[in-house]
Amino acid sequence: MGALLIEDLHGGIGDERVLFHLLNLVGERKLSMLLTSRVPPGELSVRLPDLRSRLRALPLVTIAPPDEALVRAVLVKHFSDRQVAVEPHVVSHIALHIEQSMEAAARVVAEIDRAAMASHRKVTRALASEVLARLSGRD
């Protein structure tokens, strides 16, 4: 065992003693452990004082939400994966009008692709706007 991954720690810690002992084992054996959480581990509600202390001492790395340039790049990638040609100004328009997240980019591309195929239309700014309006409930 060289590395351990525990995802979504914010969702709850089943047995706090198990996590406490895992953290100790990783430290003793000089292994690697990655914990993911939407909440800093030191801010989680933990009953075991020793575990709370260990979680507060962990080094943190924060991943910021994507900026518009990254969202545009992800949109281009998703359209490319679907073999859908989209003009750069359409991609920019979409990026300006969606939530700045990877999930939103994937969801919007899927919906726009579905709409284009169903209507036998090219992906244009007008089609993208129709889909974005429908997704936001403004149709």
Asked whether residue 7 falls in the same domain as residue 26, the answer is: yes
Average per-residue pLDDT in the chain? 93
Residue 121 belongs to domain spanning: 68-135
pLDDT tens-place string over residues 12-66? 998 999 999 999 999 999 899 999 999 999 899 999 999 999 999 999 999 888 9
Q: What is the pLDDT of residue 1?
A: 56
The pLDDT assigned to 67 comes to: 93
Question: The domain spanning residue 47 has which CATH number?
Answer: 3.40.50.300
* Contact by Cβ (8 Å): 73, 95: no
Which of 57, 78, 100 is a domain's end point?
A: 57
**11 contact partners, CB below 8 Å, separation of at least 6:** none
* Burial class of residue 130 (count of CB atoms within 10 Å of its CB; 0-12, 13-18, 19+): middle
Name the pTM for this structure. 0.67
The pLDDT of residue 65? 87
Q: What is the mean pLDDT of residues 106-119?
A: 98
